[in-house]
Amino acid sequence: MLKAVLFDLDGTLLDTAGDMGAAANHVITGLGLNALSDEVLACTTSDGSYALLRAGIPQAMIEQHGLDRLRERMLGFYRQNLCHHTQPYAGVPELLGWLNQNAIPWGVVTNKPAALTEPLLAALPLFSQCGVTVSADTLAHKKPHPAPLLHAAAHLGVKADHCVYVGDHRRDIEAGLAAGMATLAAGWGYVSAGEDPHRWQAGAVMDSVDALSHWLKGAFDAPC
């Protein structure tokens, strides 16, 4: 019996590619290189800042400038521009509202650093009733390790096998399975090129937020 829902953030609840991409492209174009296309951003954002930089900067230049320094430059820009283009996917506000109305605990488990996660969620009213937020550096481990999910479940006061975790990356499903949770793949998210969510061994692949809402309402046996 399910009692709580945990979500990944980027590519699952929020479309952050515009702001993440702008930060990456600020660094990339500053080196005299071509900006990443929307298509590249769509299939790379969930892999994080390092992947975005590697997608646009040749290895020789990365070695010359230092990947960590380039990332610091990117994240510095991103911190100042967290929510210019970021928005929830269609249907997400209604889904979170339904969870709140039915007193179903929910939370966010992300590989985004807390210094970015916390101000971003604070800027968006739809997260005001989020029961727990676990970021990449909240614990010693991050996804695909199960520890962040187990920590979130414990914080909500729910056993892991009474939770479902929703995410748009293979590591999300791996973490959920390792934690003993039900898992759902967010097929609308930033699925990496060459990846097939149907091969991740998730309990199901959701093609849209509406499909996810329908699944959850059936699983929790609550009124629509």
Indicate which residue of 8, 15, 47, 168 is catalytic.
Answer: 8
Contact 173, 198 (CB under 8 A): no
Q: Is 8 a catalytic residue?
A: yes
Radius of gyration of the chain (CA): 17
Task: Give the Å distances, CA to CA, from 138 to 112, 118, 146, 185.
Answer: 10, 11, 13, 23
Contact 85, 204 (CB under 8 A): no
80, with CB counted inside 10 A (0-12, 13-18, 19+), is exposed
Contact 2, 162 (CB under 8 A): yes
Catalytic residues: 8
